[in-house]
Each structure stands twice: as structure tokens, then as C-alpha cells.
Structure 1
Amino acid sequence: MTPRPHHLLLHPRPEVRSHSRSRAAALALTALLLAGCGSGVTTQDATPDPAAALTLENCGREVVVDAAPTAIVGMHPAQTELLLRLGLADRMAGQAQAAAQALPEDVAPLAADVPVLGEVAPPSREELLAVEPDFVYAPTTYEFSAEQGFASLDQLEQSGAAVYVATGGCADRRMTGEVTDLFEDLTALGEAFDVQDEAEQLIAEGRADLEAVEEATAEVAPLRVAQVYYEGGTLQAIGAGIEHDILLRAGADPVHSPEQEAFSDFFAAPLTPEALAAEAPDAIVFAAYDEEHEAATREYLTTTFPDMPAVAEDRLIAVSTADMFPGTLGNISAVEQIAAALYPEQF
């Protein structure tokens, strides 16, 4: 089985995290916990020169970019994909965690000559600093955990690298993140890399895609949808953050929501089979990191809940874990995929 990516859907509540877990498990449980504050762009001139320094407001920090970066590192395939779609392949010094998720087929060839840093785990401090990046783009702040042996924010900044974390990956944004946080990232990155036209095009396309889904689902009778994550015999409900917003934008009536006590301080909560069966959802959405994981989740759901409407009516909808990472175009793809699976007659 492919080692798990450090997807936040698996991250336990901070107060019960075990430091004795394996490195692979820690990676699998980390990314989505660390998602938060908004980002913005300010410049030192009313009519900025693209090559002039600008300041990105990011996760409560000021990130100064002195000139358009030429040695960029994407810290997860979700970020690497976005950088490639901005036309930055020839400016990339590395792609991290490349074995965690495959890049989409249409952009994968663009990354053929981009050095791979780390396989499933984020690169070590030494590995990342060795490529001398001048800009590092990450989905969360976990990729900069010094206690894990990764380069810290301070170490990267001291080496001359600007570090940008996806808006939805900032710590205080995790519970309230939205799909449209991506557009803040694209605006900031477009300014930083002097590819404003490319960024604006992706924003326009993304907004159009979301609007198309909204129009297509405007008159439907919303189906009740549970979003879960299953692995190793453990079932979790997902009830807040970007994942919840994805369901809403897909026209679903989520079974779990931020207003429920179980999600008052964390976006995921343990879920018993009995509790899920009692809800009798019309559909279940679940994230999977590879085909084997998807198959295992489907087998569990179909054998455990054979009479549940979601199973009986074949509405088990698998989405890629990469599409749930903050700062990725996959958030929009997930909205489209889920909506089309729920209401095929509308598409």
C-alpha cells in the first residue's frame, strides 16, 4: 500500500495526539489541522513595478518578496500543480512529497525535470535548503515543523526564502475555511511571481466553474450527505472547514455541520457505525489517497451499512485527498465532482 499522505482529515485532536506514533502515521494525521488566517497583498507603490518588493500578508506574518522568484518549491503535489498551471515549471527548484499523490495527467509532464524533494514526507531541513529556494509554497505550516526535522520558517527566511502558506492552511482558519480562499492565494502568488494574467485567468475559470454548479443545483431538492474518513477500522465524521464548504457548494444538505457540539473546536470527530446508520444519509462522500484506500473504504461502507440509502442507491462518492488540501484547484474540482454525482440529471 502507498504510504499515507499527511492529510489533515486524519489528524487527532491536539490534546490526544500520541508522540509515539510512527512517522508515517504522523504525516497522515497532520495537514488540515493547520489552516487559518486570510492573506493579502500590499505594495510599496500605488503603481507597483512587478520586480519591486512587495509584502504578502499571510497567516499573521508579513512575507517580503524582493523580486519575482526563480527558485520555487511546491511543498505538496496540490501546490506543485497550481504552480505548474501558473506557467512556472522553469522556475521551480523542487517538488515535495511527490509520491504522496500523482499530479493530474495534463500537467505531470511539466514536472518531469523538477527535482523531487522527499517522497511521501516533507523534505528534511538539509534537503530543502540544499536547493537554495527563494520562495516556498506550502498547504499548511506543518511542513515547517522543526521538531520533525523540517526547515522552520525562521531558517528558511534566514536563508533568503520567502515562505507562503495557503490561506486555508493557516492555523486560525481551519474551522472556517472556504473554497474561495484559493482565490486569495492566486492573487497573492500572481503578484509575487509576476504572472498576474495567468492567475486572473485561473480565478476567472474557478469562479465560473463554481457559478455553473450553483446554477445547476439551484432548484434541486438537496440530498442529505455525510462526509466521513475511514482507515484502519476507525471512522471519522467531517463537519467543518473547507470540506464542509465543498459540500454546501455542491448543493448538499450536510449531515454534520460546525453548529454541532462535536465540531465546536475541531473539524473532525469520531463517529460510531450506529450513529452513522441512525442518520441514514442519502449519500456519503469520503476522501481516499489511492485506489487501494478507496476500495477498502467502499468495502467497509457497503458491508457495514447494506441497507443505508447511500449504499443501496450507490451514492458513495470518493474524492482525492489532494483535492481537500488548502490552496489547491482541486477544491473546485471536488465541488464539481460531488455535485455531478449527487445530481447527474443536472449536468
Structure 2
Amino acid sequence: MLKTTRPTIAALAGAGLLLTACGSGVEDPADADAAEGRTDGAESADVSLENCGQELQFDAAPQRIVGMSPAQTELLVRLGLADRMVGLAQTASSELPEDVGAQLDGVEELSEDMPPAREILMQVEPDFVYAPTSYEFSADQGFASIEQLAEAGAAPYIATGGCFERRAEGTVEDLFVDIENLGEIFAAEESAAELIADGRERLDQAAQLSEDAEPLTVAQVYVEGDSISVVGGGVEYDIIAQAGGDNVFSPDEEQFSSFVFAQISAEELAARDPEAITFGVEDAAHEEATREYFEQNHAEIQAVQEDRLIPVPNHHLFPGSLQNVDAVELVAEGLYGD
């Protein structure tokens, strides 16, 4: 029996505990940027945008930033903002790339497995807090709320794909919305444009693997104890589509009417009989245990028979993560690569 821990269902489901509609409407004309000679690293001019139902306004680029997960921290560093980072949260959920971590020596670690407590977050006096979901702002969990942060002069930003109203419709493209928004907020448009161009080029290359292939049927499965959960929407669903897979579960099904995850029976998974299964993993041991679970309990499924079991690191599936693109590449290679 496989027993999973926090960064699987618990962490990914946290993205359902969110706010309201998310979008962007940056009101900072390009001609104004040119007139002011803005370049990466310069102070931003007035920027206004909507994020998860809240209106955010900046008359200058924030100077004291907290990344509420390694995925958010990495994106901020890739935009050239390492010298503005004052806090790192949920650091145990994944390791930062070596080149990113090297730029963060001396930055305070606020929490490991959970979002930081309100008092701990407030001690570093942030003026910008970037989170994958609004769970990180749950006052009933002892975390600083959006309202409390606003009162303290800090802007809370939630990954577009993690917004409640977008959770079921979230896509990999939402990542590029976040990059563009952050580029505007921090006057880092050039770095943002480079990240977006690189991400889209990699997605195009991944899509080429399935160009001449019959789409394989896929299920994204999480196993926790005796329970099996599957994904029927959100960025996880879009990752499979971007990789050229045909998900055997659909967002239109009743079981996904209230959330993108649904618990199913072992018999239902066998009845859908996917040709491939993707599954989130924490580490090599977790991957091995998950493979053993499928081999011992679902030898009749095509994906198991063909050994088309595709592990994806859990943090690759979080909203607002550059690794969403990595996940598409991993799944595409697992489905159609040599």
C-alpha cells in the first residue's frame, strides 16, 4: 500500500481554497515606458492590474519580496530580483536550482513544510508576497490574510492558474500571464519577454513529438492510502493536452463539478483503461513506491502493461511554476519519445 505525504494531494488541492476571478489588465502604455526610458531593474511607473479579484496598484517597484514557495521564488530570481528577496517559504516542498539558490545566500527561510505564520511573515516587512494559491493567505490557519498584508503595505499576488475561478480552467498559458504581470510590476519587461519566448519555444518543440502520432489516452492519478484520485481540469489537465495526450477524464463529468480532483474506485480506473498514467512524485523512493502500487494492483491496465507510467515532480504541477513547461516536456517524452 502506498502512503503519500503532504506535497501530493494535500498540496495540490490547496489550490482549490482560493479567492475569486483572476485576470490582468495592465494599464501602463508601452509609449509611456519608452518615454521614461524604463529598462529591467528600473523603478516601475504606475501599474494597475487585477489579480484573483483584487485590484493591485504600484507607483514604484516593490523592494522587499517574499516567495511563498520555491516555484515562485525561482520565477522571481529568473526575473533578476534576487537582491530584493527578504524571505523564502515552504522551502522543503522542492529544491531550488543550484544557480538560483546561489543567489539567495543570507535570505531568511520563513517556513519549510507549511506557509509561514502571520507573525513570522510580518517580521521581514515584505511589500510584495507571491504565492501559488490563496491557501497561503488563510487567516484561519494562522497565516497573514490578504487584508492584513494590505494594511501592512504589502501587495499579495496569487498565481493566475491558482485563482479559484480559474482552477478548473487553468492552463500552462497562465504562467505567461504571471510572468508578464511581474515584468510590468518590477520593470523587468526584457527578462519577462525572454522567459516567455523560451517557454513557448519549448512548448512548441514538445508538441512536435506528437504531430504524426495517434493521441494516447492518459490519466493523471494520485494514490493516498487506499484512495485513488484523478484530475479532470486545471493546469494538470492542460499539461497532458499540451503534451498531446487525450485525458480519459473530462471536466464536463459530474464528479468534477465542484473541484478538479475526484476520488474514484480502482474498478473505474481499470474501466477507463488509459494507455498512459502520469503521477506526481516527491523523490525517487516515492516514484518507486508508486510504480509498485500500480504493478501490484492494476496489472490489467494498458499503461501498466506497456510500462507507460510517467512520473512528474509534484512542484512541476503547481500554478505559477516555470516547471509547468518542464512537466509538458516530461509527459510528451513519456508518451511519444523514443
Gap regions ≥5 residues in structure 2:
37-42
Instruction: Name the residue aligned to 1:109.
Output: 102
Instruction: Name the residue aligned to 1:81.
Output: 74
The alpha-carbon deviation at position 108 of structure 1 amounts to 2.7
Instruction: Name the residue aligned to 1:42.
Output: 27
Give the partner amino acid of 1:274: E
Instruction: Name the residue aligned to 1:186.
Output: 179
Note closer, same or farther for the CA distance 1:273–1:32 as it changes in structure 2 (3 Å cut): same
Instruction: Name the residue aligned to 2:221.
Output: 228
- Separation in 1 of the partners of 2:16 and 2:208? 29
1:163 corresponds to which of 156, 161, 173: 156
Give the partner amino acid of 1:31: A
- Separation in 2 of the partners of 1:187 and 1:117? 27
Instruction: Name the residue aligned to 2:290.
Output: 297
The alpha-carbon deviation at position 193 of structure 1 amounts to 1.1
- Separation in 2 of the partners of 1:336 and 1:159? 41
- Separation in 2 of the partners of 1:107 and 1:97? 16
State the 4+ residue runs in structure 1 displaced beyond 6 angstroms: none
1:90 corresponds to which of 79, 83, 87: 83
For each residue in 1:206-254, what CA deviation from the matched residue of structure 2 results, as whole angstroms up to 9, or x when unmatched? 1111111223322211111111111222110111111111100100011
Matched, 1:207 2:207: no
- Separation in 2 of the partners of 1:104 and 1:320? 14
Instruction: After TM superposition, list the pairs within 5 Å mapping 1:232-251 onto structure 2.
Output: 232-251=225-244
Gap regions ≥5 residues in structure 1:
11-26
Select the structure with the greater relative contact order (CA < 8 A; seq sep ≥ 6): 2
For each residue in 1:260-295, what CA deviation from the matched residue of structure 2 results, as whole angstroms up to 9, or x when unmatched? 222122111111111111222111001123333323
RMSD (Å), alpha carbons: 2.0
1:53 corresponds to which of 36, 46, 69: 46
Aligned residue for 2:107, secondary structure, equals coil
Instruction: After TM superposition, list the pairs within 5 Å mapping 1:57-72 onto structure 2.
Output: 57-72=50-65
2:311 corresponds to which of 303, 318, 330: 318
- Separation in 2 of the partners of 1:167 and 1:28? 15
Instruction: Name the residue aligned to 2:14.
Output: 30
- Separation in 2 of the partners of 1:182 and 1:338? 18
The alpha-carbon deviation at position 55 of structure 1 amounts to 1.2
Instruction: Name the residue aligned to 2:111.
Output: 118
Identity of aligned residues (%): 51
- Separation in 1 of the partners of 2:296 and 2:271? 16
- Structure 1 window deviating more from structure 2 (31-40 vs 286-295): it is 31-40
Aligned residue for 1:328, secondary structure, equals coil
Note closer, same or farther for the CA distance 1:218–1:45 as it changes in structure 2 (3 Å cut): closer
Note closer, same or farther for the CA distance 1:182–1:45 as it changes in structure 2 (3 Å cut): closer
Aligned residue for 1:56, secondary structure, equals strand
For each residue in 1:109-136, what CA deviation from the matched residue of structure 2 results, as whole angstroms up to 9, or x when unmatched? 2233321111110001000010001111
- Structure 1 window deviating more from structure 2 (207-216 vs 106-115): it is 106-115
The alpha-carbon deviation at position 40 of structure 1 amounts to 3.2
Aligned residue for 2:50, secondary structure, equals strand
Instruction: Name the residue aligned to 2:40.
Output: none
Instruction: Name the residue aligned to 2:271.
Output: 278
Instruction: Name the residue aligned to 2:246.
Output: 253
Q: Give the conservation status (yes or no) of the 8 Å contact 1:89–1:114.
A: no
Q: Give the conservation status (yes or no) of the 8 Å contact 2:239–2:328.
A: yes
Give the partner amino acid of 1:47: A
Instruction: Name the residue aligned to 2:39.
Output: none
- Separation in 2 of the partners of 1:28 and 1:186? 21
Aligned residue for 1:30, secondary structure, equals helix
Give the partner amino acid of 2:6: R
Instruction: Name the residue aligned to 1:330.
Output: 323
- Separation in 2 of the partners of 1:227 and 1:3? 17
The alpha-carbon deviation at position 28 of structure 1 amounts to 6.9
Q: Give the conservation status (yes or no) of the 8 Å contact 1:322–1:330.
A: yes
Matched, 1:4 2:12: no
For each residue in 1:128-166, what CA deviation from the matched residue of structure 2 results, as whole angstroms up to 9, or x when unmatched? 010001111111111010000000111111111111111
Instruction: Provide the TM-score with structure 2 as the length reference.
Output: 0.91
Between the two proteins, the alignment pairs up a number of residues equal to 327
